[in-house]
Chains A and B, each alone.
Chain A
Amino acid sequence: EAGVAQSPRYKIIEKRQSVAFWCNPISGHATLYWYQQILGQGPKLLIQFQNNGVVDDSQLPKDRFSAERLKGVDSTLKIQPAKLEDSAVYLCASSSRTSGREEQFFGPGTRLTVL
Chain B
Amino acid sequence: SQKIEQNSEALNIQEGKTATLTCNYTNYSPAYLQWYRQDPGRGPVFLLLIRENEKEKRKERLKVTFDTTLKQSLFHITASQPADSATYLCALGRGGDDKIIFGKGTRLHILP
State how many residues of chain A have any CB contact under 8 Å with chain B.
26
| Inter-chain contacts of A45 with B (CB < 8 A) | 99-101
Instruction: Tell me which of A95, A101, A102, A109 contacts B42 (CB under 8 A).
Output: A109
Contact of A104 with B102 in the complex, beta carbons under 8 Å = no
Choose the segment among B14-22, B53-61, B69-77, B90-98 that binds chain A (4+ C-beta atoms closer than 8 Å).
B90-98
10 of the cross-chain contacts (CB-CB < 8 Å) are A40-B104, A42-B4, A42-B89, A102-B32, A102-B49, A103-B34, A104-B44, A108-B41, A109-B42, A109-B43
Chain B residues in the interface with A (C-beta under 8 A): 4, 9, 32, 34, 41-46, 49, 89, 91, 93, 95, 97-105
* 13 further A-B pairs in the complex, CB-CB below 8 A; given A43-B102, A45-B99: A42-B104, A45-B100, A45-B101, A48-B99, A55-B99, A93-B43, A97-B98, A103-B34, A104-B44, A104-B46, A107-B43, A108-B43, A109-B42
